[in-house]
């Protein structure tokens, strides 16, 4: 289980909302084209941020960014369709995947398996909701078949998963470094007492 202080959670919350804003679909200031962070930020927030109100706040941020991009930013509204509300359960799957991992958190190498299962599993469910709803409900495709959807899933999911895992692995490395340094400080303090 993670045990961040309120201050640490606030700092992480600012980082999460910032990365979501700077990388969401390259609408705005996309810092040298960082990979899209939306999926990872919902997952990481589920792991580290205790307050459940963070999830609706992130949903509102994502919606607001998309609305501004389409309304004022000159971005195509191609993705805005009757399928758009399905982003709520899609991102909810990522948040819940993070929550599931949070309950199992320990600082041991054995955590890599639950981390991988929760990240990949929740990303897959997210992809089914987001891309599946867009493919079948958006009205953008003349003929829809499960076979064609499977082909699209195989084409696009690896890229989305790769972007998510970039941030998740980075967060895991930072988590490990902070944990090791904190342990070293505690051991040094005990040695001097």
Q: Is 178 or 74 the better-scoring residue by pLDDT?
A: 178
Residues 6+ apart with CB under 8 A from 112: none
- Hey, how many other C-beta atoms are within 10 angstroms of the C-beta on 107? 11
Mean pLDDT of 10-17: 93
Percent of the chain with pLDDT over 90: 58
The pLDDT score that the predictor gives to residue 158 is: 95
Specify the pLDDT at position 81: 86
Buried b (16+ CB within 10 A) or exposed e, 58-84: bbebbeebbeebbeeeebeeebeeebb
pLDDT digits (tens, 9 = 90+) for 79-104: 788 899 999 999 999 999 999 999 98
Residue 29: per-residue pLDDT: 47
- Compute φ and ψ for 45, nearest 5 degrees: -60, -40
pLDDT > 70 in the chain, percent: 92
Residue 24: strand, helix, or coil: helix
Q: Considering the entire predicted model, what is its pTM?
A: 0.87
Q: How much is the pLDDT for 153?
A: 94
Q: What does the pLDDT read at residue 25?
A: 60
Q: Provide the pLDDT for residue 30.
A: 45
Whether the Cβ atoms of residue 62 and residue 16 lie closer than 8 Å to each other: no
């Amino acid at each position: 289980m993670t045990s961040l202080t309120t201050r640490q959670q606030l700092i992480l919350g600012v980082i999460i909302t910032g990365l979501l804003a700077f990388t969401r679909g390259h609408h705005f200031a996309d810092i040298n084209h960082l990979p899209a962070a939306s999926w990872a930020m919902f997952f990481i927030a589920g792991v580290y941020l205790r307050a459940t109100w963070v999830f609706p706040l992130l949903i509102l941020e994502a919606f607001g960014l998309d609305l501004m991009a389409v309304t004022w930013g000159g971005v195509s509204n191609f993705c805005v369709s009757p399928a758009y509300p399905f982003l709520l359960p899609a991102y909810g799957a990522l948040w819940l995947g993070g929550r599931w991992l949070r309950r199992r958190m320990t600082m041991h190498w054995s955590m890599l398996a639950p981390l991988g299962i929760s990240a990949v599993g929740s990303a897959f469910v997210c992809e089914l909701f987001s891309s599946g709803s867009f493919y079948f409900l958006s009205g953008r495709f003349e003929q829809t078949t499960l076979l064609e959807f499977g082909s699209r899933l195989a084409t696009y999911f690896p890229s989305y998963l790769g972007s998510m895992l970039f941030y998740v692995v980075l967060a895991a490395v930072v988590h490990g470094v902070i944990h090791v340094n904190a342990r070293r400080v505690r051991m040094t303090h005990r040695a001097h007492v």
